[in-house]
Amino acid sequence: MINIKEDKKLMPLNHSCAHLLAEAVKKLYPEAKFWVGPVIEDGFYYDIDLGDKTLTDDDLPVIEKEMKKIAKGNKRIIRHELTREEALEKFKDDPYKIDLINNMPEGEVITCYTQGDFTDLCRGPHVESTKELRHFKLLRVSGAYFKGDSKNKMLQRIYGVCYENEEDLNKHLEFLEEAKKRDHKKLGKELGLFMISEYGPGFPFFLPNGMILRNILENFWYEEHTKEGYEFIKTPIMLNQELWEKSGHWANYRENMYISEIDDRTFAIKPMNCPGGMLVYKNSLHSYKDLPIRCGELGQVHRHEASGALNGLFRVRTFTQDDAHIFMREDQIESEIIRLINFIDRVYSLFNLSYDIELSTRPEDKFIGSIESWDRAETILQNACKQAGHDCKINPGDGAFYGPKLDFHIKDSLGRVWQCGTIQLDNNLPERFDLTYIDKDGSKKRPIMLHRVIFGSIERFIGILIEHFAGLFPLWLAPIQVVVIPVSSEYQGEYAEKVYEELKNNGIRVELDNRNEKLGYRLREAQTRKINYTLILGDKEKTDNTISYRCHGEKDTTTVSTKDFINLLKDEISTKKI
């Protein structure tokens, strides 16, 4: 999938198409006022104030028609530079543009772009003429709070996309249709995995099938980390203000934290697990012989996210990070990072997820520690990445406030990229918490620390897996692995129950569907529910003491003994076959 925001040709094309949209809306709705219309990874959008007029998706063809009419006019798109005074005068009737102008940094060049009699405030860049904007599609309309703040007015956001030719546009639209079928919110509801209640926006509820999937992932996480020499902890979900001040979160992350008062003291629900991990390390004395200490925690955290940003399991207000903190000597840093990269590679390969690695360096502001320590840490991460046999792209200024990091961007079956795993090298928190170990000469030394996650968060990773596998999970992950369907509950029902019990007793997650419904209906439902294997039991299977099974998505059936079928399933589960 192309990232339109980073594509040199498609970025200005989509930026210009956002202006084309704005001009068309202004012609159709003269009272319209415009906030921002940025390019995003999969196209563009524009936030618009239409007063009392509420748009629906049914209005989009009318707007598209007006856009095509304007595009045919072949209007040149001309850039103008304005003084702040000129800009304020030009957009004096649009409070949203006035807000943008007033919030621009002093000395920034203010520019606008004009096509015909329409002018919009914008940094650019743009294409030369509206004639280039022929292959576009408006996708949907939704609500969006002004500046993403629920206290502000709700604006209307129109999404669209533009390509250089019709073939590329159609490919993108086909991709969107496939992505829509895989939407984890839709499949999550249909497959009984999770729900979101109006009583807790951003706080997901996991349903029985979702809990099966979640527990399998968590058990897998514990098993793999045990193999890698990790030990496990659980830290409190709420700790007092002094701790967050000590860690630096209070100064750098306060606006995203949930606060409460207990016994006249201020507490915060943890947005990160790290400070609790520091306290666990500090709880006992450590020798240089003890290091590295690999300490894992599936820790639930809470972060305040704007309501407009919430999105199923992808953006929530509470989630479980698969955190670990590794405490080590300086001579162990490179080998630990290499080992960790190989561990992450093994996990992602199991889910058939390819990935790229990005090195995020020191932010321009809001960072702790010396520049020298940052430079040294960035060099170590880059060298370790090369030693592990991987290239890494530099992402300047996007490190955490306490240290640089390697971010792992996984690619799903549709080619979409998700940032999941991260390795963060931190010299600062051990200093802030005065963490030490006793070296071989009896002196106290400061350990080096790694923060890391692999899934990123359990919730988000489940959302990614739902869409990656389109709801049809590998057998070892599937909440329901097999459904047993007798052709007739009257004649084969008893045999079906026997097969069901045998599968269940062998640890297979199985259901029995002996409802008084037509066979075709029950078979179609098994397909809709994305069940891996469907067993069809008729008179022949009952007489021969066999089963006939059908894999999801296939029409042909295979007849084997129940024992052989169970062995087939166990082999597929134990090898975690995709």
pLDDT (tens digit per residue) in 72-106: 988 899 999 988 888 998 998 889 989 889 988 88
pLDDT at 150 over 80: no
Query: How far is residue 504's CA from residue 293's CA, in Å, rounded to a whole number?
Result: 40
**Which residue matches tokens 């509950």?**
489
CB neighbours of residue 525 within 10 Å: 16
Please write the tens of the pLDDT for every residue from 208-231: 999 999 999 999 999 999 999 999
Quickly state the pLDDT bin for 145 (edges 50, 70, 90).
confident
Residue boundaries of the structural domains of the chain: 4-182, 195-349+430-468, 482-574
Burial string for 79-107 (b: 16+ CB within 10 Å, else e) reads: eeebeeeebeebbeebebbeebbeeeeee
Q: Which residues contact 465 (CB under 8 A, 6 or more apart)?
A: 351, 473, 477
Sequence letter at residue 219: N
Q: Residue 124 has what pLDDT?
A: 85
Q: What is the CA radius of gyration of the chain?
A: 28
Query: How far is residue 553's CA from residue 284's CA, in Å, rounded to a whole number?
Result: 56
Query: Which residues are the active-site residues?
Result: 274, 303, 321, 323, 325, 405, 451
- CA-CA-CA-CA torsion for 234, 237, 241, 246, nearest 10 degrees? 30
CA distances from 266 to 167, 241, 262, 317 (A): 59, 6, 6, 20
Mean per-residue pLDDT, 246-262: 91
Quickly state the pLDDT bin for 506 (edges 50, 70, 90).
very high
Mean per-residue pLDDT, 355-365: 92
Quickly state the pLDDT bin for 204 (edges 50, 70, 90).
very high
CA distances from 505 to 345, 425, 578 (A): 35, 47, 24
Q: Residue 399 has what pLDDT?
A: 87
Query: How far is residue 347's CA from residue 342's CA, in Å, rounded to a whole number?
Result: 9
Superfamily of domain 482-574: Anticodon-binding domain (3.40.50.800)
Quickly state the pLDDT bin for 315 (edges 50, 70, 90).
very high
Q: Residue 526 has what pLDDT?
A: 96
Please write the tens of the pLDDT for every residue from 19-47: 999 999 999 999 999 999 899 988 999 99
Query: How far is residue 216's CA from residue 224's CA, in Å, rounded to a whole number?
Result: 12
Mean per-residue pLDDT, 399-427: 89
Poorest-confidence range of 157-171, 367-381, 383-397?
367-381
Q: Would strands 482-486 and 533-537 be described as parallel, antiparallel, or unpaired?
A: parallel
pLDDT at 266 over 90: yes
Which pTM does this prediction carry? 0.87
Q: Residue 369 has what pLDDT?
A: 77
Poorest-confidence range of 99-113, 207-221, 480-494?
99-113
Q: Residue 190 has what pLDDT?
A: 96
Q: Identical fold at 4-182 and 482-574?
A: no
Query: How far is residue 238's CA from residue 56's CA, in Å, rounded to a whole number?
Result: 43
Mean per-residue pLDDT, 533-562: 96
Name the 3-class secondary structure at 355: strand
Closest alpha carbon to 195 in 180, 185, 181, 183 = 185
Mean per-residue pLDDT, 375-380: 89
Residue ranges of E strands in 35-153: 39-40, 43-49, 77-82, 110-115, 118-121, 135-145
Quickly state the pLDDT bin for 556 (edges 50, 70, 90).
very high
The answer to whether 327 and 292 have CB atoms below 8 angstroms apart is yes
Q: Residue 415 has what pLDDT?
A: 87
- H/E element, 16: helix 10-28
Q: Residue 287 has what pLDDT?
A: 97
Quickly state the pLDDT bin for 401 (edges 50, 70, 90).
confident
Burial class (CB in 10 A: 0-12, 13-18, 19+), 452: buried
Sign of the dihedral defined by the CA atoms of residues 294, 298, 303, 305, in that order: positive
Query: How far is residue 321's CA from residue 300's CA, in Å, rounded to a whole number?
Result: 6
The answer to whether 166 and 135 have CB atoms below 8 angstroms apart is yes
Provide the CATH number for the domain formed by 195-349+430-468 in this structure.
3.30.930.10
CB neighbours of residue 25 within 10 Å: 22
Six-digit token string for 375:
């430079």
Mean per-residue pLDDT, 308-312: 87
Closest alpha carbon to 578 in 503, 461, 508, 478 = 478
Six-digit token string for 535:
């067993």
**Which residue matches tokens 């022949």?**
540
Q: Which residues contact 220 (CB under 8 A, 6 or more apart)?
A: none
Name the 3-class secondary structure at 369: coil
CA distances from 170 to 84, 135, 257, 362 (A): 42, 9, 43, 41
Q: Residue 510 has what pLDDT?
A: 98
**Which residue matches tokens 């630096």?**
248
Name the 3-class secondary structure at 46: strand
Q: Residue 299 has what pLDDT?
A: 96
Quickly state the pLDDT bin for 508 (edges 50, 70, 90).
very high
Strand partners, 548: 536, 559
Name the 3-class secondary structure at 459: helix
Q: Residue 64 has what pLDDT?
A: 96
Write the DSSP symbol of residue 442. Answer: S
Sequence letter at residue 38: P
Superfamily of domain 4-182: Threonyl-trna Synthetase; Chain A, domain 2 (3.30.980.10)
Q: Residue 427 has what pLDDT?
A: 78
pLDDT at 403 over 90: no
The answer to whether 395 and 363 have CB atoms below 8 angstroms apart is no
The answer to whether 384 and 334 have CB atoms below 8 angstroms apart is yes
Q: Residue 565 has what pLDDT?
A: 97
Mean per-residue pLDDT, 326-337: 94
The whole-chain average pLDDT of the chain stands at 93
Mean per-residue pLDDT, 528-544: 97
